[in-house]
């Protein structure tokens, strides 16, 4: 199974200065700026280190670029890719249009962007996606380490809806009663399965990837999580049941290259310690998406 990651140019490189020109002076000034600076190498962006580690895994991993730039203004991006010797050969330049349309065409299991609207559209079409948040934190270890929240990320948000609507006691009763019923998969289930396939091929003692579940759940809600992963036949290396404790220090201790969570408050806390992707999915994001 080939692992394909789609990434936007603003997630891969630092393009805030260029984007500010676009926002304040318009598209013509932006295009002129990019052409005038096409040989000026862009600084690494929030997902740069993650991409480098992904590309270092093996030939079964591919990263593709999805960009709202045109092919003309995108020349600076490809020049920067060449400078950093990133093995990225495929790209879609959309000239201002949404890039998420090409996630499925490229066969990508994950789309990383700084544009929340593109991310929400990708999730709505059934693809794992996250908005990369600004962070100055990087993990220097050679092993790729990816951490996930549970509900509304790896799992559906069915249980989280019970918690939000009826409270903790109702949530705990439901999870205890349904402990032997596997949860439906969330938007990142297939991405986790792709990581698991790479781990399985490498063997438990020589895996280039380590995964962690970092969840606010605690006993007795832990059992359903364990039985769900068992039913999926998917391996998670570490599982942290924090019972509502702040996740940041635990993510730092794990050494996450990226952490995915659906709740903005948890993402804001986590990105102080590790690179973080917000997954705008489920009831925690209903108001943002305009749901009732």
- Residues with a known catalytic role: 149
The DSSP call for residue 145 is E
Indicate the pairing of strand 129-132 with strand 276-278: antiparallel
- Alpha-carbon distances, residue 72 vs 29, 97, 223, 238 (angstroms): 14, 15, 53, 45
Q: Which tokens go with 271? A: 């990105």
Measured between alpha carbons, how far is 4 from 273 in angstroms, rounded to an integer?
26
Query: Going along the chain, which residue ranges are E strands?
Result: 3-8, 61-67, 91-93, 110-113, 129-132, 144-148, 209-215, 238-241, 258-261, 276-278
Are 45 and 12 contacting, i.e. CB atoms less than 8 angstroms apart?
Answer: yes
* Tokens 């270092």 sit on residue: 56
As a whole number of angstroms, the distance between CA 163 and CA 174 comes to: 10
CA–CA separation, 72 vs 98, rounded Å?
A: 17
| CA–CA dist 55, 250 (Å, integer) | 26
Helix 16-25 / helix 27-36 crossing angle, nearest 10 deg? 140
Is residue 220 reached through a cis peptide bond, with omega within 30 degrees of 0 on the bond before it? Answer: yes
Check if the beta carbon of residue 91 is closer than 8 Å to that of residue 66.
yes
In the DSSP assignment, the letter for residue 246 is -
């Amino acid at each position: 199974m080939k692992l394909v990651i789609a990434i936007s140019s603003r997630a891969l490189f630092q393009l805030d200065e260029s984007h500010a020109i676009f926002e304040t002076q318009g598209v013509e000034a932006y295009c002129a700026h990019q052409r005038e600076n096409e040989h000026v190498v862009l600084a690494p962006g929030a997902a740069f280190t993650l991409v480098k580690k992904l590309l270092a895994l093996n030939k079964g991993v591919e990263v593709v670029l999805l960009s709202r730039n045109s092919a003309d203004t995108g020349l600076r991006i490809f020049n920067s890719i060449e400078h950093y010797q990133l093995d990225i050969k495929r790209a879609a330049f959309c000239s201002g249009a949404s890039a998420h349309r090409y996630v499925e065409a490229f066969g990508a299991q994950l789309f990383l962007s700084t544009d929340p609207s593109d991310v929400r559209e990708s999730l709505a079409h059934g693809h794992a996606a996250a908005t990369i948040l600004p962070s100055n934190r990087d993990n220097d270890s050679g092993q790729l380490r990816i951490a996930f929240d549970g509900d509304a990320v790896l799992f559906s948000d069915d249980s989280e809806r019970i918690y939000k609507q009826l409270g903790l006691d109702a949530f705990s009763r439901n999870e205890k009663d349904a402990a032997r019923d596997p949860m439906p998969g969330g938007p990142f289930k297939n991405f986790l399965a792709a990581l698991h396939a790479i781990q399985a091929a490498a063997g438990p003692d020589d895996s280039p990837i380590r995964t962690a579940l970092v969840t606010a759940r605690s006993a007795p809600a832990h059992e359903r999580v364990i039985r769900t992963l068992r039913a999926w036949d998917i391996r998670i290396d570490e599982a942290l049941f924090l019972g509502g404790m702040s996740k940041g220090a635990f993510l730092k201790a794990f050494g996450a290259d990226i952490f995915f969570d659906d709740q903005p408050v948890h993402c804001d806390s986590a990105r102080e310690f590790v690179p973080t992707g917000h997954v705008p999915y489920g009831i925690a994001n209903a108001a943002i998406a305009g749901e009732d």
